[in-house]
Amino acid sequence: MSDEYILEVNNLKQHFPIRTGFLQRVTGHIKAVDGVSFAVRRNEVLGLVGESGCGKTTVGRTVLRLYDPTGGDIWYRTASGERVNVAQLKLKDVKPLRREMRMIFQDPFSSLNPRRTVKDLIGEPLLIQKVAKGKALEERVAALMTEVGLDPNYMERYPHEFSGGQRQRIGIARTLSLSPRLIIADEPVSALDVSVQAQVLNLLQSLKDELGLTLLFIAHDLSVVEHISDRIAVMYVGKIVEMAPSEQLLRRPLHPYAEALVSAVPPADPDVKTQRIILEGDVPSPANPPPGCVFHPRCRYANHDSCRTQEPVLEEIEPGHFVACHLARQLSLAGIGG
Ligand SMILES: Nc1ncnc2c1ncn2[C@@H]1O[C@H](COP(=O)(O)OP(=O)(O)OP(=O)(O)O)[C@@H](O)[C@H]1O
Ligand SMILES: [Mg+2]
């Protein structure tokens, strides 16, 4: 393993049991995450995109051991330089890592306790981890509020006195309070108005540059992650189907599903006409995924028997560009800018 990786996830699986009947017998499994591998470098932003239900949140929660993985490894390099497998750690050994690895949640409305003041909310992790109290705590909270563009004079106020965008800033300040080394941002702007989305994205971008954050940035849309991400991984029904440096993925997608996502990104130049690819059919259920390539029933290029019968593996087709598609070497797919 290279020292530069802060997180390496290998063949991660998260299968939730389906229980039915009076006896609550296990009659099947939802394969929410089914063999996912990726790595995140220090100071890197990896975007994780895909349709609703493809398993993005489950990846994030499992990496933080909010769920016990069904299988796979989660190698994390700690602040002290030790390499630990979060998947195998005892829960009591995971707890100290929660200071280093933190999550920003999608919904700034339900993730903040309405009965606590902003000072309490941002200061709580510092108190719990015994990092600061009293005057020092207040000073740290004020500095964090300034950092995320909030007026520290409002620290005695309650979340409902703030707008959605400001609440997400409170959430971000709370996440930053312990100076985490790895942040998993789960759709941090999806619940916000489009105009406010851009502001919060810009904030995250500038925090990234200033603080050298390492982020796993989860979103539905490529357009949300394209600017902030160094690399992007595309998920479909519990698997990563393509992963590449952001620009490469947008210019030259190699997977038909990624091509469809790229076609939905509004072009920077409004005069450029793009052909939006509308995918037909529904996303298959992760409880009963189709045989062969999970994407084949919706793929307009699937013409091989292998697409229907053989599961493609994620392969490095060009340096740093991974794709799981039997036809990747034959197809010439459309990206942004031609
Ligand atoms: N705790 C759970 N128990 C059972 N099934 C779950 C659980 N959490 C998620 N799932 C199922 O796992 C699949 C993946 O869910 P997940 O929330 O990870 O998707 P997602 O990509 O984050 O979707 P969204 O974009 O809507 O947030 C879904 O089919 C979901 O219903
Ligand atoms: Mg989610």
Q: How far apart are CA 279 and CA 210, in angstroms?
A: 39
pLDDT at 195: 84
State the DSSP code for 282: P
Q: How far is the CA of 218 from the centre of ligand 2 (A)?
A: 8
- Cβ–ligand 1 distance for 53 under 6 Å, the answer yes
* Number of other residues whose CB lies within 10 A of the CB of residue 335: 19
Q: What is the mean pLDDT of residues 301-309?
A: 91
Has residue 201 got a pLDDT over 80?
yes
Has residue 209 got a pLDDT over 90?
no
- pTM of the entire predicted model: 0.93
Q: Find out whether 211 and 27 touch, Cβ atoms under 8 Å.
A: no
Residue 310 main-chain phi, psi, to 5 deg = -120, 130
Has residue 57 got a pLDDT over 90?
yes
- What is the fold, at CATH topology level, of the domain defined by 5-100+180-323? Rossmann fold (3.40.50)
Nearest ligand by distance to the CA of 50: 1
- Cβ–ligand 1 distance for 30 under 6 Å, the answer yes
* Higher per-residue confidence, 287 vs 275: 287
Q: Find out whether 111 and 172 touch, Cβ atoms under 8 Å.
A: no
Q: How far apart are CA 56 and CA 240, in angstroms?
A: 10
Give the residue whose CA is nearest to atom 28 of ligand 1.
53
Sheet holding 71-77, edge to edge: 25-41, 5-20, 71-77, 83-85
Summarised one tens digit per residue, pLDDT across range 153-191 is 999 999 999 998 999 999 999 999 999 999 999 999 988
- Cβ–ligand 1 distance for 219 under 6 Å, the answer no
pLDDT at 2: 44
Per DSSP, the residues of 180-236 read -SEEEEESTTTTS-HHHHHHHHHHHHHHHHHHT--EEEEES-HHHHTTT-SEEEEEE
Helix (H) or strand (E) holding 271, with range, is none
Query: What are the structure tokens assigned to 238, written together?
Result: 């519990």
Taking alpha carbons only, the member of 289, 277, 291, 197 closest to residue 235 is 289
Average pLDDT, rounded, for the chain:
92
Q: What is the mean pLDDT of residues 219-234?
A: 94
Taking alpha carbons only, the member of 301, 305, 309 closest to residue 329 is 301
Q: How far is the CA of 154 from the centre of ligand 1 (A)?
A: 36
Nearest ligand by distance to the CA of 221: 1
Sheet holding 215-219, edge to edge: 101-104, 182-186, 215-219, 45-49, 231-236, 239-245, 321-323, 315-318
State the DSSP code for 285: P
Q: What residues are paired with 186 via a beta bridge? A: 218
- Cβ–ligand 1 distance for 16 under 6 Å, the answer yes
Helix (H) or strand (E) holding 244, with range, is strand 239-245
Has residue 151 got a pLDDT over 70?
yes
Q: How far is the CA of 236 from the centre of ligand 1 (A)?
A: 12
**Ligand 1 site-directed mutation target among 20, 30, 222, most atoms within 8 Å of CB:** 30
Q: How far is the CA of 187 from the centre of ligand 2 (A)?
A: 7
pLDDT at 131: 87
Has residue 3 got a pLDDT over 70?
no
pLDDT at 212: 84
List, by residue range, all CATH 3.40.50.300 domains of the chain.
5-100+180-323
Ligand 1 atom with minimal separation from the 287 CA: 29
- Cβ–ligand 1 distance for 32 under 6 Å, the answer yes
- Cβ–ligand 1 distance for 123 under 6 Å, the answer no
Q: How far is the CA of 330 from the centre of ligand 1 (A)?
A: 33
Q: What residues are paired with 190 via a beta bridge? A: none
Give the residue whose CA is nearest to atom 11 of ligand 1.
32
Residue 45 main-chain phi, psi, to 5 deg = -110, 120
* Higher per-residue confidence, 195 vs 26: 26
